[in-house]
Amino acid sequence: MRLRHIRGAEETIAESPYVIQEPELHKGSWNQVFGNDNPIQIEVGMGKGRFIMELAQQNPDINYIGIERYSSVLLRGLQKRAQLELNNIYFMCIDAKNMADYFAPGEVDKIYLNFSDPWPKDRHLTSPDFMAVYDKILAADGMVEFKTDNKGLFDYSLEAIPEAGWTITAHTFDLHHDPVMCAGNVMTEYEEKFSSMGNPICKLIAMREPKENEEN
Ligand code: SAM
């Protein structure tokens, strides 16, 4: 995402009631933040947040947390958030590599990765280091859902994710023409942009391989 710093973005985020300011304080007790025991789902790299806010509107019984590391990008999401009456979504302005500092083992049910730049020049969100972070915080039956139009990144992920000890339970190279995987699909900003340019959208779903003592 091209980034232009917006003056005052940090201050606005620091004062926003929609942004969790000291997430480390809530490790293991996110149910108190939301006031219920509903499952928690996270989008890493939410950008302007259209996808996760749409999910939050559709699913009031699921709690959502959008993570975005750049304040100038998150700021755009806050403007939209202010127009919505929702009590099941918060944002965090952090680098996702530190998520295990903020969530206890098994505290998260699902992680969405949508159009997860940067690739290939920096650490990408389906790399072994990041999969190890997700492994720490996801429930035993938790899953990662990943969408991208970047074939190189997708091919890499199809190989790297199983090598990191995960099973890819489903995948497609053309989501919008796959009626099963596309059922209920919520478009992200980037998905709309790239699919309107004719780029096929790839998607995979990954879960951990069961540990030996969990098999029976
Ligand atoms: N998910 C949105 C979509 O599909 O429209 C935005 C996609 S944008 C290409 C990727 C976003 O991921 C950027 O806003 C970037 O700042 C964010 N991002 C990348 N790596 C991140 C990390 N380690 N922690 C938090 N956000 C990250």
pLDDT, tens digit, 9 for 90 and up, residues 157-184: 999 999 999 999 999 999 999 999 999 9
User: Token digits for 192?
Assistant: 């709309």
Q: How are the residues of the chain apportioned to helix, strand and coil, as percentages rounded to the nearest 5?
A: 40, 20, 40
Res. 210 pLDDT band, cuts 50 70 90? confident
Res. 216 pLDDT band, cuts 50 70 90? very low
With a cut of 60, say whether residue 2 has pLDDT above it. no
Supply the pLDDT for residue 146: 98
Any bridge partners for residue 42, and if so which? 65, 111
Answer for the pair 105, 135: CB distance below 8 angstroms, yes or no: no
Q: How far apart are CA 115 and CA 154, in angstroms?
A: 10
**For ligand 1, atom 12, which residue shows the shortest CA distance?**
45
- Residue 37 annotated as catalytic: no
With a cut of 80, say whether residue 73 has pLDDT above it. yes
Rg (alpha carbons) of the chain, rounded to whole number: 17
With a cut of 60, say whether residue 194 has pLDDT above it. yes
Res. 9 pLDDT band, cuts 50 70 90? confident
Shortest-distance atom of ligand 1 to CA 113 = 1
Nearest by Cα to 131 from 147, 118, 144: 144
Answer for the pair 143, 110: CB distance below 8 angstroms, yes or no: yes
Contacts of 155 (CB under 8 A, 6+ apart): none
With a cut of 90, say whether residue 136 has pLDDT above it. yes
pLDDT digits (tens, 9 = 90+) for 80-129: 999 999 999 999 999 999 999 999 999 999 999 999 876 666 678 999 99
Q: How far is the CA of 152 from the centre of ligand 1 (A)?
A: 17
Q: How far is the CA of 3 from the centre of ligand 1 (A)?
A: 11
Supply the pLDDT for residue 8: 82
Q: Looking at 118-165, which runs of residues are DSSP E strands?
A: 138-148
Shortest-distance atom of ligand 1 to CA 95 = 24
Res. 192 pLDDT band, cuts 50 70 90? very high
Answer for the pair 44, 111: CB distance below 8 angstroms, yes or no: yes
Q: Where is pLDDT greater, at 191 or 214?
A: 191
What value does the mean pLDDT of the chain take? 93
Q: How far is the CA of 211 from the centre of ligand 1 (A)?
A: 31
Dihedral of alpha carbons 186, 107, 164, 128, sign? positive
Supply the pLDDT for residue 6: 79
pLDDT digits (tens, 9 = 90+) for 59-68: 999 999 999 9
